[in-house]
């Protein structure tokens, strides 16, 4: 909601309707999240994989996975291994867009109108999912 209010304050006419209803019956187990999980915050050393720039909090694990898909993504093997270790619940394909809406609105507020089309496309996907 704060990102949406900021976007409106910045002059963007964005209506989200009832998209939050996508989470109405979703009751995830709280998980420790990276908070900014995208390919730019991951790397490899001789000892193995590393993550940078954590913004750690507890929440729905799907929020981290959604962010991991948003900007660049990870190799398909990452998602396959995750799905094998802890399968996602039905509905993730819709919920991920709602989780990513926060990041898209944040980028719209920080960097300007170049993100507006992506915000609008995400909202169309969410409204179709209702």
Please identify which residue in the block is written with the tokens 């209803």.
Answer: 21
Which pair of structure tokens corresponds to residue 71? 């900007």
**Integer angstrom CA distances of residue 90 from 28, 53, 102, 104, 124:** 12, 30, 21, 23, 20
Q: Point out the catalytic residue in the list 36, 53, 60, 64.
A: 36
Q: Do 92 and 129 contact (CB within 8 A), yes or no? A: no
Residue 64: active-site member: no
- By annotation, the residues acting in catalysis are 36
């Amino acid at each position: 909601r704060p990102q949406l209010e900021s976007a409106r304050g910045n002059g963007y006419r964005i209506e989200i309707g009832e998209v939050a209803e996508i989470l109405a019956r979703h009751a995830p187990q709280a998980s420790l999240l990276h908070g900014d999980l995208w390919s730019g915050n991951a790397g490899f050393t001789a000892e193995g994989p590393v993550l940078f720039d954590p913004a750690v909090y507890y929440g729905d694990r799907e929020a981290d996975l959604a962010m991991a898909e948003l900007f660049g993504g990870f190799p398909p093997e990452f998602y396959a291994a995750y799905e094998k270790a802890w399968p996602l619940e039905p509905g993730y394909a819709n919920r991920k867009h709602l989780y990513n809406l926060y990041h898209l609105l944040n980028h719209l507020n920080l960097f300007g109108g170049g993100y507006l089309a992506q915000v609008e496309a995400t909202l169309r996907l969410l409204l179709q999912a209702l």
